[in-house]
Structure formats: structure tokens, C-alpha cells
Amino acid sequence: MALYVVKSKRGDVVIQVDEDMIPILKLYYVNMNWKTGYVQVRLKANPKIRMTLQRLVAGTPKGFMTHHINHDKNDYRRANLEIIDPKKHSHKQEKHKKHNKKKTSSPLIGVTWCKKQMKWYVSMHVSYLHLNLGYYDNLDVAGAVHNYFLIVFYEPCDELNKVKVTPEQMDEVDFTVLNKKVKANLIKKGLLEMAEKLDNLEFTDVDFRLILGDNSQPK
């Protein structure tokens, strides 16, 4: 297995391919189709010849589809590609969508699944302003980030997410940068009182018990 970097103005994408595909890819222009999420290739000697990378790798004949067995669109190894008829491919895709919908539905306030980023997106409204609070791999970390800003702006508050995170997990979030970003957006929209609440604020200034969603009175 080898890693291949697909260059793009919207960000480079790292894909997995078999090692013997590396010299073959040098014969093609390789691009990411952001609408479909699949890599496309065009033959340098004849740019009119174009196809998806999975069809090139699997040698998929006309009238058939190429299925990613593990549903990872960045895995183009032959072992992960299956040539199937369109009807069977459609059935597998629908089955995966139903499974994925259950997997990516969020029970937490202010947290939704972003299919494009493949991460949990956190947001909230402060007055009339919609705040983007970032994208996170871990659902509980995302819920904790929402709790943090809810506490900062509206403490005391009852609608906190119940999450299970450790201080070490939260260390992965750069709250210094995030606080500055949120504060700048608040100032830009004239919400100065809310912006002042972030002055010199550190994540550790907020009771971690509340970050976990425990708003009961301490014993």
C-alpha cells in the first residue's frame, strides 16, 4: 500500500493506492471532484479520456459500477474495490446510507454531523449572530465545546449536554485561538457585552464539572 497526495486548491487529499499504481498515475492528471468526493483522472496523452480513479484501478467495464467495499472514498486499493452491476451497487449504497444516518445523528444540542468535513460541527446563536465553533472528530468533545460557550455566555443554564470527556481530550482544542475567533465575530456584529465575557478567558476558568453537563449543586 502507498499514499498518494491529490493536489487541490481547496486542500490536498491523501488517498491509499497499491504501490504499482504510482508510476501509472504519472501518466494522468489527477483531480478531486468535490461534488462526488471521488478522485478523477485524465490521460495526459489524450485529455479526452477521463474516468474515476476507481474505474481505472479496477478495470471496470462499461455498464458496471465500482464499489468501495469499506465505503472509504479515499481507499483506492484493488482489495477495496468490487465490480458490480448498477442495481446491486444502488442497493448497497442505500443500505450504507441508512446505517450511516443512525451513526451520524447527534443527540447533543448545537452539534450536527458535517458530511463534507466528516466531523461533528458545533454552532450556536448569540442574539442574532450564528457562531461557528469548529469541527471535531469526537462527539463528546464537540458537545463539551458547546457547553463551554453556553456557560460563558449564559450561566446559569439548564440545557447542557451530558458528555464524557477528560481534561486531556479537551487539551486538543485550542481555546485561545477559538476564543479570539469568536470574540472577533461578536465585536464585528456590535455584540460588545458578549465579547467582553471572553476577555483573558482560559478554558480552565470554567468549572469542568459544568463542561461535562453536570449543573447540579456541588456537595
- What are the residue boundaries of the structural domains of the chain, listed by start? 2-103, 111-211
| Mean pLDDT for the stretch of residues 68-72 | 84
At 208 the pLDDT is 92
Residue 47 has a CB neighbour count (10 Å cut-off) of 10
Check whether domain 2-103 has CATH 3.90.75, yes or no: yes
What are 172-214's pLDDT values in tens digits? 899 999 999 999 999 998 999 999 999 989 888 999 999 998 8
What are 19-34's pLDDT values in tens digits? 999 999 999 999 999 8
What span, in angstroms and rounded, lies between the C-alpha atoms of 157 and 148? 11
Instruction: State pTM to two decimals.
Output: 0.54
Residues 6+ apart with CB under 8 A from 58: 66, 78, 81, 82, 83
